[in-house]
Chains A and B, each alone.
Chain A
Amino acid sequence: MNIVRRSFLKFAGGIGALAAAGAAGLLHTAAALAAWNKAGFESKALADTLKNLGVSNPTESRDITITAPDIAENGAVVPVAVTSRIPDTEQISIVAEKNPFPLAATFDIGNGSEGYVSTRIKMGQTSDVWAVVKAGGKFFTAKKEVKITVGGCG
């Protein structure tokens, strides 16, 4: 379906233009929270993204489960849920490695919230989706590939 393909292109293009907008100071308003991780959200490579999330020496963990489809019918709405069974999970980030800006969202968890978040993200192409979990001051990761296909017809 062309509309879908077009929205992919627009999405990719939109992300491309974002760095410029950010650099020009258009991205934020005074109202935006100070906590908004500008450097993290504007990182283009996975390594920079991790660095700007404050990650050092992450450990791959089997206690993190990423629930997402193997194949997404529509890259505009890819459901991703992350469950962390690591004790004292305090933060979960969702990172789509091959997106122009990989970091999609960061969730700070506290006061009895479970190590679980579920949301939907846009993905421009087939990519590993990373879950980056901060627990007890340490970082843990897991990843899962999601294949993106351009929709068929109708």
Chain B
Amino acid sequence: MRMNRGFAAACLACCATWGTVAAQDKAGDGLAIGRQMLAEDNPGELWIEQGKALFHGLHGPRKASLERCDFGMGPGKLEGAAAQLPRYFADTDKVQDLESRLLTCMVQIQGFQHEDIVKRAVSPAGSNGSDVEALALYITSRSNGMKMNPPLSHVKERETYKAGEYLFFRRSGQTDFGCVQCHGEANKRIRLQDLLHMTDKKGAQEVASTWPAYRGGHYVIRTMQWRLYDCFWQMRLPELKYGSDTSIALISYLHHQGSGVMIKVPGFKR
């Protein structure tokens, strides 16, 4: 944690007796080839077409497509839309990320029940994946090659961004964790898993450019909403609601931290 000079010195003194921080990054080298081989040919790409078909097909109680859904660039306009999310939407008077916006459209345009979608949004590992996962991937893929650059012109966008920053650093629960405990320094790992340094531009850019991603061990597409939920689970905190304001605020913070990066989805995560 950050502290003033006097205490930093005091802490350093006790840290020195607590154990030396050895260079523990060696394990990472043996992983690099494997990661590269997996990323080069990403099975996640197989879900893009599926998402496209779902977007244009007639679904839900109203037998409607999502072509009237406005992700911020106008109804059905997907080119570059994900690169500017989260953003403020006048019709809902809310700042929304891609998935919460998708939820709004599936309810309002297609007539689905909010609870039903949320229940199925995150697919079981080893399944064929959920509609929302495929849709989120397809829509984001239409911003591939474009730069992440969400707007901050509306007052609610600025509020959401600052709330996200606050939440990133907020510690609670029996592990005393906030996001920053794992994602506040460079070259850190939980066990063998690399942790992105999200308070640094480069680390945040990897977050902002690689979700939705194919998760090797789950064999399905995972989304940013899932990623956040899973972090809170591991932190021993209560369950983060899908598409909640807290999730949108954190995504807003991360996307702004990582702004300027070229979007390239699906990512590949172990």
Whether A and B touch (Cβ < 8 Å) is answered with yes
- Taking Cβ atoms with an 8 Å cutoff, the residues of A that contact B are 1, 3-4, 7, 67-74, 76-79, 81, 118, 120, 147, 149, 151-154
A152 to B195, CA, bound (A): 11
Q: Is B3 an interface residue (CB 8 A)?
A: no
Q: Quick one: which of B145-198 are within 8 Å of A by CB? A: 189-193
B112-128 to A contact mask, C-beta < 8 Å, 1/0: 00000000000001100
| B234 lies within 8 A of A153 (CB) | yes
| B216 lies within 8 A of A71 (CB) | no
Q: Is B25 an interface residue (CB 8 A)?
A: no
Q: Is B77 an interface residue (CB 8 A)?
A: no
* A7-B126, A76-B217 known; A154+B234 contact, CB < 8 A: yes
A79 to B268, CA, bound (A): 13
* A7-B125, A69-B31, A77-B38 known; A152+B217 contact, CB < 8 A: no
A7 to B191, CA, bound (A): 19
Checking A3, A67, A77, A149 against B192 with a beta-carbon cut-off of 8 angstroms, the contacting residue is A149
Enumerate chain B residues within 8 angstroms of A154, measured Cβ to Cβ: 190, 193, 230-231, 233-234
Enumerate chain A residues within 8 angstroms of B33, measured Cβ to Cβ: 67-70, 79
| A74 lies within 8 A of B217 (CB) | yes
Given contacts A71-B34, A77-B217, A154-B230, 12 further A-B contacts (CB under 8 A): A69-B34, A69-B35, A69-B37, A70-B29, A70-B33, A73-B270, A74-B216, A77-B38, A78-B34, A147-B30, A152-B191, A152-B192
Checking B192, B218, B230, B231 against A73 with a beta-carbon cut-off of 8 angstroms, the contacting residue is B192
Q: Is B27 an interface residue (CB 8 A)?
A: yes
B194 to chain A, nearest CB (A): 9
A96 to B233, CA, bound (A): 34
Which partner residue on chain B sits nearest A150 by CB separation? B191
8 tightest Cβ-Cβ pairs between the two chains A and B:
A69-B34, A152-B191, A70-B30, A79-B37, A71-B30, A77-B216, A73-B270, A152-B193
* A71-B30, A73-B270, A154-B193 known; A7+B37 contact, CB < 8 A: no
| A152 lies within 8 A of B190 (CB) | yes
Q: Could you list 9 A-B pairs, sorted by A, with CB under 8 Å?
A: A1-B217, A3-B125, A68-B33, A79-B33, A120-B38, A151-B270, A152-B190, A154-B190, A154-B230
* A3-B218, A152-B192, A153-B190 known; A73+B34 contact, CB < 8 A: yes
A1 to B35, CA, bound (A): 18
Most chain-A Cβ atoms within 10 A of its Cβ — which of B34, B231, B233? B34
* A76-B217, A151-B217 known; A68+B34 contact, CB < 8 A: yes
| B230 lies within 8 A of A149 (CB) | no
B173 to chain A, nearest CB (A): 15
| A153 lies within 8 A of B193 (CB) | yes
A74 to chain B, nearest CB (A): 5
Enumerate chain B residues within 8 angstroms of A7, measured Cβ to Cβ: 125-126, 217
Enumerate chain A residues within 8 angstroms of B192, measured Cβ to Cβ: 71, 73, 149, 151-152
Enumerate chain A residues within 8 angstroms of B126, measured Cβ to Cβ: 7
Checking A76, A77, A153 against B191 with a beta-carbon cut-off of 8 angstroms, the contacting residue is A153
A69 to B30, CA, bound (A): 6
B80 to chain A, nearest CB (A): 30
Enumerate chain A residues within 8 angstroms of B234, measured Cβ to Cβ: 153-154
Checking A67, A71, A81 against B31 with a beta-carbon cut-off of 8 angstroms, the contacting residue is A71
Enumerate chain B residues within 8 angstroms of A151, measured Cβ to Cβ: 191-193, 217, 270
A83 to chain B, nearest CB (A): 13
